[in-house]
Amino acid sequence: MTATVTSSLSPKTILIAEHAGFCHGVRKAVDKTLATGRSSDGKPVYVIGQLIHNQQVIEQLASESIITVQSLDEVPAGSICVVRTHGAPPEMVENAKAAGLEVSDATCPDVRLVQNKAIQLAEEGYTVVIVGKASHPEVIGIKAHSERVPGAQIIAINSPDEIGAALDGIPCRRVGVVSQTTQMEETFFEMVKALSKISKELKVFNTICPATYFRQTAALELAVKVDFMVVVGGKNSSNTTHLADICRYAGTASRHIETFRELEGDQELREAKIVGVTAGASTPDWLIEEVIEYLKAL
């Protein structure tokens, strides 16, 4: 059920998607990392890559002396090294421990499940297809974990159009499929359908996380009811970008923003009578509240 926000200052009706903002995995990762920083006994705390794809949260962590870096080489000896919620290649964790660093693992449980399913498929002799962006840190980690299986064939493919080139010269008789947790369901099932035409044996694990499904479904249901959709979340967040895409596919005027300031001067928004708000799984409640307060004042 959507939540309705009204204000005596604005003639607009503001509807909030039933599922929006932090998912359980992101909340757990942020809380764990903040707790690690506050109980570190003076040890510096570093996160390898963005803990979550939200710049405002990264800045919040930095304000508590939890520093985001891009590689293990940037972490001084004697520090605590945090594994981001997207997971990391096992080699990185091993190298951190070998360097004498304390490791705090904030990998999302749903991401860990995908890693384990990919390993299982590789051990069973399937060519493993990860439906997702090869350059995304979650997919990089999934691929790295499953590639440790001797003889494993692991491919990341993001759309059906890429299948032919990606699988050229690779055994396709037995194919196992997993998904990046934030993948769009439509894309995932299109991939499964296309792969079923070239594989004699297809084993599929739908590893899109429930939070992603609920947010996508709620965004679509809301988008068809409103004049304008505001999608709040990091511009580099896959799950937030997918929400914005879903709203646009519904034919609704939509804006993907990180903060309310990006809405300033938007004439289409000002003319809208009913405005919907949703947010990605890496968007904290306080950012959503700031957007709602801005809309109430229009």
List, for residues 65-86, the tens digit of each pLDDT value. 999 999 999 999 999 999 999 9
Q: Which domains occur in the chain, in start order?
A: 3-22+210-296 (3.40.1010.20), 24-108 (3.40.50.11270), 110-204 (3.40.1010.20)
What is the predicted pLDDT for the residue at 116?
98
pLDDT tens-place string over residues 170-199: 999 999 999 999 999 999 999 999 999 999
Residue whose C-alpha is closest to residue 181's, from 142, 152, 150: 142
Q: Answer yes or no: 264 catalytic.
A: no
Query: Residue 235: which residues within 8 A CB-CB, separation 6 or more?
Result: 241, 256, 258
Name residue 22's amino acid: F
What is the predicted pLDDT for the residue at 278?
98
Q: How far apart are the first and last CA of the chain?
A: 25
* Ordered mean pLDDT values, 10 residues apiece, the chain (298 residues): 60 94 96 96 96 96 96 95 97 96 97 98 98 97 98 96 94 97 94 96 97 95 97 95 95 97 95 96 96 93
Query: Residue 138: which residues within 8 A CB-CB, separation 6 or more?
Result: 86, 87, 111, 114, 132, 180, 181, 182
What is the predicted pLDDT for the residue at 100?
94
What is the predicted pLDDT for the residue at 11?
80
What is the predicted pLDDT for the residue at 4?
67
**What is the DSSP secondary structure assignment for residue 32, as one 8-state letter?**
H
- Helix axis angle for 137-146 and 109-123, nearest 10°, is 40
Residue whose C-alpha is closest to residue 37's, from 81, 86, 94: 81
Which member of 74, 124, 138, 147 is catalytic? Answer: 138
Query: Residue 231: which residues within 8 A CB-CB, separation 6 or more?
Result: 219, 240, 243, 244, 247, 254, 255, 256, 257, 278, 279, 280
What number of residues does the chain have? 298
Between the CA atoms of 247, 249, 252 and 256, what dihedral angle is there, to the nearest 10 degrees? 40
**Longest CA–CA separation in the chain, Å:** 65
